[in-house]
Structure 1
């Protein structure tokens, strides 16, 4: 039975201005190819032979063994299924899968002890601080929740005062209220300082700190009503058992509220927590993510164009015409470098935009980072590739100086556009204006790199030394050339008759955002010779904000149009149904550290350590 769709996510999809399937077909070459792509991908995703324990939970040896087995199966099954075309084999393999700095006492020393020293009364210090300082008890600081990080007022864990018994009753009312990320919580700590919303007679008085025992001091098992465990593997800090914590009617004495600055009897004013906004409604969040969404579309369309250029070039080479090779190599080298540089920056921006959850392997981002950031060096180191592009540009530019007519991607190098008259007004939303701006920058930087190279030669350097001396200018010129190609190609692809008006409109906004964002980030290049003015750059910034507001209702649907099934994306945060939090907890519970309540290391190391320290008190 299909999972119930998250209502917020359903609303986002229902509010889209276009049919995502139209763009799916546009991106992947039409409905027939999309149908075939999904069919072939499903063959792998639904194959029981490829179902296995999450790779993140395996040792290196187990991962190797599993991947070796899968590799053999892929070869066998492709033959059995008759998958012979590169596209089919690529789609089938897409589901194929072909590192601690801090120890478990980290938060005990960095947060637990300082909090006791700073917020406990003298009586409370006498009760707990000496034990904590002497490691007779181990504690952590439990504030962050699964759904609440920096939004402290939004914490959902409750501590309700019972005046009849003079106790506080602790509860975790929702999945999002689960304490999440505290270091040394998962398996090590037996105490924590808990930040919870204080309720007295039905009124909320905001978050307050409470001293809470969570594990039995004799056998280390969780106390009744306490659910605690490890949150699973992360990008790093493998030696730290970051954990989760839930409470079900757990009672603690009134004196367990840390009371140096506040006591229950003094509270008379209610503090109401305001609703938490959706993360994507923050403009700063949009500014982090939307330009990379636009870039993803820009590079995907550039890749499709390059595939066309490649096959057309292979036809000519097959007829003995090898004149197409230099441009093909130069263009592919530049685009590979540019796209992988942007990708690397985008992965990290997305990880940070997810807050702490982006650091967990459950997000899928650490795997993407580790598997794809090497693209800046494999299959050709990016700077070296850019210099190969620059070599072709220098050759083409010199040919233009000799009167030769240039064609293809370098046709624009026949001349540098004149600097516009001061005060000229431009509509920087006009795609032709944007294309001309990128073309002018590329032509000028190629021209200046050529002049610098000539100057270095005139000082007496030989060609390799002169080339090295001018390399920074050469790489910059090659990057500008590649960016010009991407912008022009994006704009050109918008004329495709397969696009309906709604899809064309939203893709046009993405194209404008991609170009304007690069202009603003590289404004010096455009201002340097006066081609664009300060007013133009200010106008571009205003347009970026306006474009993000227009793209906001379509953001989820635009991501949907990449058509990545959950089985491929392998991300709890990126689930199509949007039901993140319950699945995040389920995922964490599957960690090997959570197979038993008490890890064997407790009996080997922690139990004798704690008992010896208690005996000294």
Structure 2
């Protein structure tokens, strides 16, 4: 149930995780049991009207009052209003508030504070808090999430409600800073590690619906025998849907590995306070967030379009899927903004010579040992299926874009747009590498091994057909090599369509409740479900409007007669 955009999501995804990671042991003993028993219901209050991606620009203040041993939480400007805060418009009783710590008139930057927002007995808004639910979102998405606007008017909280695992303020106003500022990455890393996998599942649902419908829907005859063919049999459909099946599988599998790595880091951090891995995880999750949400958002729309006019019906479910997935390119960091963090990290490691410590940056060796690119030794379609050929292509793609980024940075150019393409190319390599690592570890006797190998090859060839455009000039791919890549891609599409796609989709086992689509029902054909939906439309019961429609036609006819009689100008 927690994947249905409900107010309960922040409680698990970010509220409890921040209590666990950011509170002192004493604080956790008090607050975590309350949250786990749902005695309190939490939200994470960071984004403001005036500042989203620029977290350093946050204006909400938490000023320490030594006389009362309290913090005053205040929103000094309209732009400091907390906005888009999930589960806050109606539900949340408490919020983890990101605010600028002010002690003795000195600004120590952003810290986290636990603030009560509503009375636990009545749900009434607490004095000094001003809260509004934001209303409908674009495309009617995330209807179950009560995003809110939140303003603080000098709200007092006890000093011990500053989350104090990493930094704290003593009773006399002494500020004890964190040992390492990188701990601030933790909040966003948590959410982004979850987002990457969740968006993959969202795309898989859309592909499942589109696959089911396009195999049912028949149009024209491909064989000339008079029998109509399923539209899935046409290349115009297969080449749109099957690569998305492979990409969605990669998103889920590799993102699960990233999430496990973060969970292992968290367990170690809670035992030892060791955050040495956090910077690398931050890089991984930022890249995964951008990569997964871009592919999913536009992939869901591709599935809708592949289903023709019936995909445009709300009954298809694609409208809801799109509305609930495309927003992910914006929340938790606009993709074009957060994508800039990946090139910065790449350049940092390249300049420091530390890229060997991070497997996902192995392509930097191409720049470190720069030589004139040699022509690819690919002579047949099967050569494109070899791992070293794929690795070479994808490493060269990122290396070329990194080189361009370094040159642009040195020349003082604005790279904020180009960073997005570099981050996506980095994602291609990371997800390609991660997917093959999982596939290689599947025992050869497993019945699904062949399907996973085929999907991994399809994913690889799909991203290489885009990568070779970047490479074609610097590496001078020959016409024969480009043709062989196309032939290899064609062959894998045919193999996946004929042998594996149905088995893979069946293996995911989505229920009708999860898909919620008239195009993928087990008890009805898509046509029956669509017609039933039309029969249930409320507009079929608007008989009280019929007299108005009749009167309108009569008025129009009278106006036309008046015009014909004597040049009277119609006002209709």
Residue aligning to 1:606: 549
Would you say the 8 A contact 1:519–1:526 is kept in 2? no
Matched, 1:424 2:370: no
| Structure 1 ranges of 4+ moved more than 6 A | 147-150
| Secondary structure of the structure 2 residue equivalent to 1:378 | coil
Would you say the 8 A contact 1:364–1:572 is kept in 2? yes
Q: Distance in 2 between matches of 1:321 and 1:533?
A: 50
Residue aligning to 1:558: 504
Would you say the 8 A contact 1:516–1:544 is kept in 2? yes
Residue aligning to 1:326: 279
1:573 Cα deviation (Å)? 0.6
Q: Distance in 2 between matches of 1:406 and 1:369?
A: 38
1:522 Cα deviation (Å)? 3.3
Matched, 1:481 2:426: yes
| Secondary structure of the structure 2 residue equivalent to 1:522 | helix
1:520 Cα deviation (Å)? 1.5
Matched, 1:348 2:294: no
Matched, 1:317 2:269: yes
Q: Distance in 2 between matches of 1:287 and 1:379?
A: 31
Would you say the 8 A contact 2:394–2:467 is kept in 1? no
Which structure 2 residues correspond to residues 355-394 of structure 1 after superposition, within 5 A?
355-394=308-347
Q: Distance in 2 between matches of 1:337 and 1:423?
A: 30
Which of 478, 484, 505 in structure 1 is aligned with 2:450?
A: 505
For the structure 1 residues 411 and 288, does the alpha-carbon distance in structure 2 shift closer, same or farther, using more than 3 Å as the test?
Answer: closer
Deviations 1:321-366 (A, max 9, x none): 2221111111111111111111122112111110100000110001
Residue aligning to 2:15: none
Residue aligning to 2:251: 299
Would you say the 8 A contact 2:458–2:492 is kept in 1? yes
Q: Distance in 1 between matches of 2:509 and 2:416?
A: 40
Residue aligning to 1:471: 416
Residue aligning to 1:448: 404
| Secondary structure of the structure 2 residue equivalent to 1:561 | helix
| Secondary structure of the structure 2 residue equivalent to 1:544 | helix
Q: Distance in 1 between matches of 2:524 and 2:438?
A: 32
Which structure 2 residues correspond to residues 110-189 of structure 1 after superposition, within 5 A?
none
| Secondary structure of the structure 2 residue equivalent to 1:528 | helix
Which structure 2 residues correspond to residues 202-221 of structure 1 after superposition, within 5 A?
none
Matched, 1:574 2:553: no
Would you say the 8 A contact 1:291–1:513 is kept in 2? yes
| Greater relative contact order structure (CA < 8 Å, 6+ sep) | 1
> CA-atom RMSD, angstroms?
3.6
Would you say the 8 A contact 1:280–1:286 is kept in 2? yes
In the alignment, structure 1 segments of 5+ residues that lack a partner are: 1-58, 70-85, 96-146, 155-271, 457-465
Matched, 1:493 2:438: yes
Which of 520, 526, 547 in structure 1 is aligned with 2:465?
A: 520
Deviations 1:454-506 (A, max 9, x none): 2x2xxxxxxxxx3x623344433322222100001111110233674541212
In the alignment, structure 2 segments of 5+ residues that lack a partner are: 1-134, 147-192, 203-215, 562-572
For the structure 1 residues 148 and 530, does the alpha-carbon distance in structure 2 shift closer, same or farther, using more than 3 Å as the test?
Answer: closer
Would you say the 8 A contact 1:441–1:525 is kept in 2? yes
Deviations 1:87-123 (A, max 9, x none): 9xx99xx99xxxxxxxxxxxxxxxxxxxxxxxxxxxx
Would you say the 8 A contact 1:428–1:540 is kept in 2? yes
Would you say the 8 A contact 2:311–2:318 is kept in 1? yes
For the structure 1 residues 326 and 67, does the alpha-carbon distance in structure 2 shift closer, same or farther, using more than 3 Å as the test?
Answer: closer
Moved more, 535-544 or 442-451: 442-451
1:380 Cα deviation (Å)? 0.6
| Secondary structure of the structure 2 residue equivalent to 1:428 | helix
Q: Distance in 1 between matches of 2:429 and 2:355?
A: 22
Would you say the 8 A contact 1:397–1:447 is kept in 2? no
| Secondary structure of the structure 1 residue equivalent to 2:483 | helix
TM-score (norm 1): 0.52
1:295 Cα deviation (Å)? 0.7
Which structure 2 residues correspond to residues 5-24 of structure 1 after superposition, within 5 A?
none
Would you say the 8 A contact 2:512–2:521 is kept in 1? yes
1:393 Cα deviation (Å)? 0.7
Which of 357, 379, 402 in structure 2 is aligned with 1:406?
A: 357
Residue aligning to 2:180: none
Residue aligning to 2:227: 275
1:394 Cα deviation (Å)? 0.9
For the structure 1 residues 148 and 288, does the alpha-carbon distance in structure 2 shift closer, same or farther, using more than 3 Å as the test?
Answer: closer
For the structure 1 residues 149 and 414, does the alpha-carbon distance in structure 2 shift closer, same or farther, using more than 3 Å as the test?
Answer: closer
Would you say the 8 A contact 1:299–1:486 is kept in 2? yes
Which of 535, 539, 546 in structure 2 is aligned with 1:589?
A: 535
Deviations 1:195-220 (A, max 9, x none): xxxxxxxxxxxxxxxxxxxxxxxxxx
Deviations 1:142-197 (A, max 9, x none): xxxxx98975x99xxxxxxxxxxxxxxxxxxxxxxxxxxxxxxxxxxxxxxxxxxx
Deviations 1:266-297 (A, max 9, x none): xxxxxx99321111111211011111111111
Q: Tell which structure's C-alpha radius of gyration is larger.
A: 1
| Secondary structure of the structure 2 residue equivalent to 1:574 | coil
Would you say the 8 A contact 1:294–1:513 is kept in 2? yes
1:314 Cα deviation (Å)? 1.6
Which of 364, 382, 389 in structure 2 is aligned with 1:433?
A: 389
Q: Distance in 2 between matches of 1:306 and 1:540?
A: 30
For the structure 1 residues 600 and 556, does the alpha-carbon distance in structure 2 shift closer, same or farther, using more than 3 Å as the test?
Answer: farther
Deviations 1:551-576 (A, max 9, x none): 11332332222221101110011224
Q: Distance in 2 between matches of 1:316 and 1:449?
A: 35
Q: Distance in 2 between matches of 1:569 and 1:361?
A: 13
TM-score (norm 2): 0.55
